[in-house]
Structure 1
Amino acid sequence: MNDPRCRLIYLAQNPQLSRSLLLTFLKEDHTLEPLFTASVKDLANKYHLPASKAHTLYGYVRDKDNFDRLLSRLSRFKIWTILDSDFPLLLTLIPDPPLVLYGLGQASLIDQMPSLAVVGTRHPSKTAKKHMYKLLKPLVDNNWVLISGMAYGIDGYAHRLADYYGGKTIAVLAGGLEYPYPPGHLNLYNRLIENQLVISEYPPFDKPKRYQFPERNRLISGLSFATLVIEAKHKSGSLITADQALEQGKDVFAVPGAISQPQSQGCHELIQNGAKLVQNTYDILQEWESFNRKWCRMMLESNQNPALG
């Protein structure tokens, strides 16, 4: 129980401890030692916890058998913590970074660039696959990493396109890796953990919850240099990812469609609000050249973890 990294992983398994509270613990002392040695009274007073929660936390951090058992159960997963030198640099730069990430598959993909988030409706039009092939196949052939959320529709198309043509893709899940969602994509999930990479910030044994779907979108955009919206209806969940990208200072690209088509409405709204209209692969490559110069500078200046200050 003396390793700060293992302490953080253990704490992250406790559903009572929010990400913001864990970040408070880390900023106070990145070793987390004070938390594991504090009395119930100290926990309650120092962290403004209700007495019942302080008692529960005290029992949790002092339970060495549970600590060893939980970490043993997690041994099959690749785990990144924000304390690690190999934690994805791009995620340390977003406003609300994850503190722990779990992965299955090719872990090295998480830092590979260029990477592009590809999102869109779960109910794409008949022309969606054609548009995606035209725009994304050249990127796949040039070792780009496509990042999406493994949902039905556009997400699934993006993962399959990359995998089928020998490219690279990362799926970011809501819920734990032991409960891949949606159930209809179990075969896709199994293929991705064998050949690609699937990640989640949620403990592997947690079933997906409704709030996690919009929350994980910040990781899809965060791991990418830009977000491409293929098709999206008005108020689509894909627009949340686009908003997250803008909040992170990233570019948003949108593919136009027929004005009579509901799946085009969200993309047209994005374009009206300043997203770059994408008609061909070159439109994406042009923006990457600009970002790549900034990325190289970030890599040179990445000695300090901005998320922990």
Structure 2
Amino acid sequence: MKNKFLLRLSLTKGIGTFGKQQIYRFAKRHQWWQFDELEIRLLAQTTKPNNWNEWTEDRLKEIESTHQFITIEDEEYPESLRQVPTPPLVLFYKGNLNLLKRDMLAIVGARKATNYGYQVLKELMPDITKRGFSIVSGLAKGIDSFAHQFAISNQGKTIGVVGTGLDICYPKTSGNLQIEMSQNHLVLSEYPNGTMPAKFHFPMRNRIIAGLSSGVLVIEAKRRSGSLITAQQALDYGKDVFVVPGSILDGRSSGCHQLIQDGAICVEKTQDIFDSYDLWNKIH
């Protein structure tokens, strides 16, 4: 009953993430999981129409039979993600869910990464994977894909969070990598199969990346970039942000330098990450 309600709510269109969160909190507080369309609208505090009634028992059964998923009420749902202001109510997944039990480090950066970014990851990744972190990123071009690939080539484990349904590979260049990760690692989405990429999906995806991870490592990011959104969300959630400085000549790392000026941890070697992580663990 509870999980079916959460699946239905997560699939309902016409209610924003915040509205869904309000409904969930009300349902949890009262341990009541049956609502009609009008009650849903009142709890979401919206007059907009929604498609709550379209999610019939049969349609929900079809989703259950064609998707693997966990809800925010399940034991396997990561506690770190549960703590963010608007956690996804449902996570669809393919792969090894046990990777969510390991320490997680997000790595994000430029889609148009340079050879410098590539070499930085090549240098840092052996120690990071040896330390036992699951590497979390967004399966985008550039730094994201490099991070996943280097984690795999160093016998580490990696988690991809995508802004589409799990049956869609976006960008297409990450297709083979996403398939491999679906089989031997883990790929997550809050969207059901058939969901195409949309501009607003990617900032939403970034909050999951930031929420899952103990910290976020940023490599090559301009001042206005998705990587900075992820870094800012991590700071808002009280996570560490680690930044690799870059060249001052081409502007590709201007966002990184801004983060360092704002108090992010400057990374020249993996020990810079581990020192901060060990200190965080002692405090908590």
Asked if TM exceeds 0.5, the reply is yes
Answering whether residue 152 of structure 2 is matched by residue 163 of structure 1, we say yes
Q: What secondary structure sits across from 1:53 in the alignment?
A: coil
Would the alpha carbon gap of residues 168 and 44 (structure 1) be closer, same or farther in structure 2, given more than 3 Å must change?
closer
Residue identity in the other structure for 2:133? W
Residue identity in the other structure for 1:64? E
Answering whether residue 215 of structure 2 is matched by residue 221 of structure 1, we say no
Q: Give, in whole Å, the separation in 2 of the partners of 1:243 and 1:142.
A: 25
Deviations 1:238-287 (A, max 9, x none): 11111001100111111112211321211111111111111001100001
Would the alpha carbon gap of residues 112 and 105 (structure 1) be closer, same or farther in structure 2, given more than 3 Å must change?
same
Q: CA deviation at 1:143?
A: 1.8
Choose from 49, 73, 80 the match for 2:66: 73
- TM-score, L = length of structure 2: 0.92
Higher-Rg member (1/2): 1
Would the alpha carbon gap of residues 17 and 72 (structure 1) be closer, same or farther in structure 2, given more than 3 Å must change?
farther
**Mapped contact 1:119–1:229 kept (Cα < 8 A):** yes
- TM-score, L = length of structure 1: 0.85
Q: CA deviation at 1:73?
A: 2.5
Q: Give, in whole Å, the separation in 1 of the partners of 2:270 and 2:43.
A: 54
Would the alpha carbon gap of residues 177 and 32 (structure 1) be closer, same or farther in structure 2, given more than 3 Å must change?
farther
User: Where does residue 126 of structure 1 map in the other structure?
Assistant: 115
- Describe how 1:263-282 pairs up with structure 2 within 5 A: 263-282=252-271
User: Where does residue 306 of structure 1 map in the other structure?
Assistant: none
User: Where does residue 112 of structure 1 map in the other structure?
Assistant: 102
**Mapped contact 1:226–1:252 kept (Cα < 8 A):** yes
Count of residue correspondences: 282
Would the alpha carbon gap of residues 265 and 73 (structure 1) be closer, same or farther in structure 2, given more than 3 Å must change?
same
Choose from 41, 54, 61 the match for 1:60: 54
User: Where does residue 94 of structure 1 map in the other structure?
Assistant: 84
Q: CA deviation at 1:42?
A: 5.2
**Mapped contact 2:23–2:40 kept (Cα < 8 A):** no
Q: CA deviation at 1:49?
A: 5.0
Q: Give, in whole Å, the separation in 1 of the partners of 2:43 and 2:147.
A: 47
**Sequence identity of aligned pairs in percent?**
35
Unmatched runs of 5 consecutive residues or more in structure 1? 298-309
Q: Give, in whole Å, the separation in 1 of the partners of 2:213 and 2:179.
A: 23
Unmatched runs of 5 consecutive residues or more in structure 2? none
Q: CA deviation at 1:45?
A: 5.4
- Describe how 1:193-272 pairs up with structure 2 within 5 A: 193-272=182-261
Q: Give, in whole Å, the separation in 2 of the partners of 1:107 and 1:195.
A: 11
User: Where does residue 304 of structure 1 map in the other structure?
Assistant: none
**Mapped contact 1:143–1:167 kept (Cα < 8 A):** yes
Q: Give, in whole Å, the separation in 2 of the partners of 1:257 and 1:222.
A: 26
User: Where does residue 182 of structure 1 map in the other structure?
Assistant: 171
Q: Give, in whole Å, the separation in 2 of the partners of 1:151 and 1:22.
A: 28
**Mapped contact 2:19–2:43 kept (Cα < 8 A):** no
**Mapped contact 2:71–2:89 kept (Cα < 8 A):** yes
Residue identity in the other structure for 2:54? Y
Choose from 74, 93, 100 the match for 1:103: 93
Choose from 147, 150, 154 the match for 2:143: 154
Residue identity in the other structure for 1:129? Y
Q: What secondary structure sits across from 2:107 in the alignment?
A: strand
Choose from 10, 13, 19 the match for 1:12: 10
User: Where does residue 305 of structure 1 map in the other structure?
Assistant: none
Residue identity in the other structure for 1:29? A
RMSD of aligned C-alpha atoms? 2.0
Q: Give, in whole Å, the separation in 1 of the partners of 2:271 and 2:10.
A: 42
Q: CA deviation at 1:122?
A: 0.7
